[in-house]
Structure formats: C-alpha cells, structure tokens
Amino acid sequence: MDKAFILKEASDSIVSQDLDKAREIAEQTLTKGYDPMEVIEKGFTEGISRVGDSFERGELFLPELIQAGEAMKVATDILNAAVPSDNRRKKGRYVIATVEGDVHDIGKGIVVSMLKAHGFEVFDIGRDVSIDKIIDSAIEVGADIIGTSALLTTTLKVQQKLEEKLKSRGIRNNFKTMVGGAPCTERWAKRIGADAYAEDAHDAVKKAVDLLIAN
C-alpha cells in the first residue's frame, strides 16, 4: 500500500463519512511510517474540503457534514498524537469556537487539526458558543489567541460583538484575535478590529505563528 493510495483512501474515507475506515487509514499511516502531517494535509484535509464543497452545492446535508467531521476528528486525533515530540512543542494556546447562532464547524475542525499538528495547544470549545463563554474560556486557559468561525452572514456580527466585549471588559490587549469562515474577508477583519483573517487552515497556521512572533 503506497503513499499515494493512503492519501486517496484517507480522502475517500472522509467523503464517505466512514469513521472506521478513517481510523484504519490513520493507523496504517503510522504502521507504514508515513509522515502524519502530510497525510492530514494531503489526504484527510483534501477529503474534508470535498465534503465542504458538496455541502455548499446542496449535495450533502448537515447530518452528513457532521458525520464527516467526526471521521476527520477520529483520524487526526490518532495522527496528531503520533507527531514527533520535537514538533509538538507548544507554540501557544489557542481558543477556537464557532460563534453563537451558527452550528457549522467543519472548517473549524480542519483548522484545529492543522494547529495541533503545528504545535499549538488548542482548546476547541465547540459550535454555537456565546461571546461570554469564549472570553471566559480564553481567560481560564491563558490563551494567546482567540479564533472565531462564522459560516453565515447573519452571524458575522457576533465576531464584531466579541471585539466590542473584549474592549468593554478592558482585556482586548490580553489576546490576539483571528476570524474566519466563508463570508469573512480581510476587509471585515480590519473593520471590526480583529488582528488577523484566515482564508483557510493553512493560512490560519501561518497567521497564528505570525501573531505570536509579533506579540
């Protein structure tokens, strides 16, 4: 079973929402000695992107989207745990959530996997999360970065309210903030005062590293 086959099977296991297959491929990755991060990025992430595209086209529905996300989590948890210890030195603490009123978290799941693979200590507090819970969680774990995802145009305003609440509580300078999600843009991030906008999971890792370096 060569690497190209592993990558294809990893992608297909997510598209088919097959948790057992995703687990099997992750375990085979380790048995064969392939790079866990490469299989996450070029296999499982490619699959979750295909699922996201199908969802956007109306070919998949929310339960299937969630099931695919669970398959992704099963696989990446196995592979992230196998990343060499030198690569798992914690770069920083990152609290991430999908904002209140929004139950979509497939993109967030990809970001979480990629951040963990690149050495961040990630606290994923879920979807449909209130502003106060996001802030309280960030305070509790001593987060360096707060990342929020909004997949609906109607929930974008929650990202703005988060910025406002951080300021009103006098703790805006305690954290760097990042925003993402389909309707988000660089212009939106600047408008609300967020520190960075991430276009995708790869961009999220790069921007998070840049924020820590600049801090």
- Check residue 169 and give its pLDDT: 97
Q: Please tell me the pTM assigned to this model.
A: 0.71
- In this structure, what are the phi and psi dihedrals at residue 126, rounded to the nearest 5 degrees? 100, -160
- In this structure, what are the phi and psi dihedrals at residue 59, rounded to the nearest 5 degrees? -85, -20
- Check residue 51 and give its pLDDT: 84
Instruction: Fold for 3-83, please state it.
Output: 1.10.1240
Going by C-alpha positions, the residue among 205, 204, 201, 203 that lies closest to residue 52 is 201
- Check residue 57 and give its pLDDT: 83
- Check residue 144 and give its pLDDT: 97
Which three-class secondary structure state does DSSP give residue 99?
A: strand
Class of domain 88-214: alpha beta
Spell out a b/e string for 118-130, using b for 16 or more CB atoms within 10 Å of the CB, else e: bbbbbbbeebebe
- Check residue 106 and give its pLDDT: 72
- Check residue 90 and give its pLDDT: 62
- Check residue 84 and give its pLDDT: 64
Successive 10-residue mean pLDDT values, the chain, 215 residues: 92 95 96 91 86 82 82 88 63 94 82 79 94 98 96 93 97 97 94 95 88 83
**Can you give the residue ranges of every domain in the chain?**
3-83, 88-214
